[in-house]
Structure 1
Amino acid sequence: MHPWIKDKKIMITGGTTGIGRATALLLASLGNDVFICGHHERQLEDTLSDFEKLNALGSLTGLAIDLATEEGIAELFKKFDSMYDHIDVLVNNAAIAFQSVKEGSYDDQAYILRTNILAYLSCAQAALYRMEPRGEGHIVNVGSMSADVREAQSSVYVCTKGGIQAFTESLRKEANPKGIQISLIEPGSVGTDMQPYSPAEQRKKIEAMEMLYAEDIARSIVFMLSQPTRTSVVSMQVKPLRQII
């Protein structure tokens, strides 16, 4: 078995920042065709520009859309289908941070739920329709250790990540008999735009081994995707050494 995944058609949601961005750059540089989406055009352009500088084997392209809408998800897969005749891998990663249930309006919380849960469901559904006729494929849901830690002052975010954990476990039982892999990765603290810390504070935490680089999670996702078909990595939790949770 080759130690890396190669020559695959891959979609990554939330692929313009943080974990999604690091995963997209790594998978594309390994020789895959990677399609990403993000909410902001500027972040998309920056990610694509950074990949061009790598002069790597694969390809990276994408689309700026809002995954909290049915129209955005339809546009995402329409564009992907126009470029590729199949999908090998979906990495469901796009999510928004949110704190206590006491914060925000009904509409604010509904938007979080549409992005952090419903978009995962809808993208998985669309990917399964395309994977099942071929009898192969891999969906990786990026969750969070918050689903188990359930820290205070984060009840809305915890709700969404707990939902992703349960969804992934149930979906695996539906998809595995059809030859499709379903994996869950749950990171601990990772230095991304979602953190309430400044870049300088994040660097200090990373140096203290209390926070990870996004690239650390990207390598873990590549490990999941690089296994032989007979091997199913069900779930993985990855945290900084000195994050005591």
Structure 2
Amino acid sequence: MENIANYFGQHISQKRIVITGGTTGIGKAIADLLVSLGGRVFIFGRDENDFYNAMNDIKEKSKVGEIYGVAADITKKEDIDMIWGKVDRNLGGIDILINNAALPAGGLIEGDYEDWKYILETNVLGYIAFAKEAVNRMKEQKSGHIVNIGSMSAEVKEKTGVIYVSTKTAIRGFSTALRKEINPLGIKVSHVEPGAVTSDMQPDSKEMQQEKIKNMEMLEAEDIAMSVLFCLSQPKRCDIVSIQIRPHLQII
């Protein structure tokens, strides 16, 4: 095998990449990594402060790739159209989509209809809508890669997160069926399911999360970014269809 650094970098350099929810957590870590390898990356998130902080941080860290983006809400059709307009103008198309934007959600009893509707539109419909727009562009070039970030919740099915479990179980099924539909078009689909990862979605304090990382009970967002890079770095003949990443001492 050639130099391992070249093996990873050659699959990312100059690639046109869109990351949903790319301003914090796993999405931001993926953006950091792919820009550092020469990717041309477009990110967005609904919180303006998070967006500007992410853009500034990525620009300061790396001069290798390119970073573009906008503050936008994945549940709004007008924002989706606006994002893809900017993607087409800034990137000239898309090679890789990282579907990552998602919100936490609890059980059935504590929620209400409007809360569920917004969660479902973010965690499920957002993935479908962005995959559709990506496929429309990728099929013309007969190549592309969609990575759907799921969750081990789809397997564990914890009773405290019924709504979240429902959305991530939907993403598991969506990823499996989507691959069957679009693989003949030359487009890959990978499904990545992390276990516990430090993020703003976690109920624990930042201090508690750091303690869990130290105790190998929680992952860093960068760990998931590396797993995504592994999926993206395979030769054309090889698909990483599904991958699960768990903290060493998170017994599931």
Question: Which residue is equivalent to 1:76?
Answer: 83
Structure 1-normalised TM-score? Answer: 0.98
For 1:173-208, what per-residue CA distance to the aligned partner results, in whole angstroms no more than 9, with x for missing partners? 011111000000000000001100110000000000
- Secondary structure in 1 aligned to 2:160? coil
- 1:171 pairs with 2:178: yes
Q: Gaps (5+ residues) in structure 2?
A: none
Structure 2-normalised TM-score? Answer: 0.95
Moved over 6 A (4+): none
Q: What is the total number of aligned residue pairs between the two structures?
A: 245
Question: Which residue is equivalent to 1:201?
Answer: 208
Please report how far the alpha carbon of residue 55 of structure 1 lies from its aligned counterpart in structure 2 after TM superposition. 3.4
For 1:98-137, what per-residue CA distance to the aligned partner results, in whole angstroms no more than 9, with x for missing partners? 0001122201100000000001000000000000011000
Cα distance in structure 2, aligned partners of 1:184 and 1:197: 26
Identity of aligned residues (%): 48
- 1:157 pairs with 2:167: no
Please report how far the alpha carbon of residue 157 of structure 1 lies from its aligned counterpart in structure 2 after TM superposition. 0.0
Letter in 2 for 1:228: P
- 1:42 pairs with 2:49: yes
Cα distance in structure 2, aligned partners of 1:147 and 1:71: 30
Cα distance in structure 1, aligned partners of 2:62 and 2:69: 17
Moved more, 202-211 or 3-12: 3-12
Question: Which residue is equivalent to 1:212?
Answer: 219
For 1:20-47, what per-residue CA distance to the aligned partner results, in whole angstroms no more than 9, with x for missing partners? 0000011001101000010111111111
Moved more, 213-222 or 79-88: 79-88
Moved more, 83-92 or 164-173: 83-92
The answer to whether the 8 Å contact 1:87/1:137 transfers is yes
Q: Equivalent residues in 2 for 1:73-112 (5 A)? A: 73-112=80-119
Question: Which residue is equivalent to 1:51?
Answer: 58
The answer to whether the 8 Å contact 1:91/1:139 transfers is yes
For 1:66-120, what per-residue CA distance to the aligned partner results, in whole angstroms no more than 9, with x for missing partners? 1012112111111111112220000000000000011222011000000000010
Cα distance in structure 2, aligned partners of 1:173 and 1:55: 37
The answer to whether the 8 Å contact 2:44/2:71 transfers is yes
Question: Which residue is equivalent to 2:247?
Answer: 240
2:137 to 130, 137, 140: 130
Moved more, 44-53 or 136-145: 44-53
The answer to whether the 8 Å contact 1:30/1:56 transfers is no
